[in-house]
Structures are given as C-alpha cells and as structure tokens.
Amino acid sequence: MTEAEIGTNIKDIMTRDVVTVKENDTLQDLLKLFKKYHYHSYPVVTPDGELLGVVNEDIVLQPLLIGSVPSAMLARSITMILGEDAKGIMNHHPITISPNTSLEEAAALMIKHSINRMCVVVDKKLVGILSKRDVINEIYRRR
C-alpha cells in the first residue's frame, strides 16, 4: 500500500447505514435477515446502539450440519442455538475498530482473524461497518 492509502482512516470509507439485530430477535428473524440482505454477519445492538456482539452465518449453519460438525463443535453449537435469540447465539467478543483506525491496520486485522466485516465503534456504540469489499474498493479507487 502507498502512504496515501495507509493514511486513510476507516471513517472515510466505512458503511454508516448498518443493518443490525436486536438482542431479542429470534432465530427465525435472523434467518429472514440473512435471506433478505445476503450479509455474512450482523451486529447485535441495544436500543441505544451499544454493540453487544455479532451473529454470523456459521453460528446459524452449524446445527443444520450436525452430521458433518466435529463433536466438540456440535455441543457448543447446540448449546448456542438453544438460546433461540440473537443474544443467546451471538459472538460476545467481536473484533472491533475505531473510526480513526488506519486502512492498513484494519486490513491486517481482517486477514489475521479471517473475518470479512468489522464493527466500527465509539464508546461501545456502533457507528459503522467496514468490510473487505470497502477496503478493496478504496484501494482500487486510489490506483
């Protein structure tokens, strides 16, 4: 990456209009969202916008693949899905970044943790989402 790309902060390229999930949304609600928007994950937020966690496709798919999931993962999947709401099955500790995180640092975190989207937070409140597509588009735009 060039110096100009490294100098880009996430606030300049993040998506601000984020599709979110409420902590009491049911598994059925989540399945409808996955079908409607085709994102791989959704932030779970409180009514005042505080990020609680993230629900992703893998969490929803694991119980459906009972025959092909290793037994250690199966027990966790079943336990998680029994929560039946977003709060019960979400990842409670998602990787987050601030709006002032550099493009280079955000891209490195995505690669290191094998994630496609990261929540952008300020004082625990969700202010945006950064996707690998956002990063790629910004790099392409600058070329």
Going from N- to C-terminal start, the domains of the chain cover 3-141
The residues with which 85 forms a beta bridge, in sequence order, are 26
User: What would the two tokens of residue 4 be?
Assistant: 């100009």
pLDDT in tens, 1-45: 444 445 688 999 999 999 999 999 987 788 888 889 988 899 999
Higher pLDDT residue, 59 or 31? 31
* pLDDT value for 1: 46
pTM reported for the whole predicted model:
0.79
Among the residue ranges 39-53, 54-68, 111-125, the one predicted with the least confidence is 54-68
Class of domain 3-141: alpha beta
Q: How many CB atoms lie within 10 A of CB 100?
A: 11
Residue 143 has pLDDT above 90, yes or no: no
pLDDT in tens, 66-121: 555 555 565 555 555 555 688 888 899 999 999 999 999 999 999 999 999 999 99
Return the CA Rg of the chain: 16
User: What would the two tokens of residue 18 be?
Assistant: 């984020």
Q: How far apart are CA 47 and CA 138, in angstroms?
A: 32
* pLDDT value for 125: 98
Asked if residues 34 and 69 have their Cβ atoms less than 8 Å apart, the reply is no
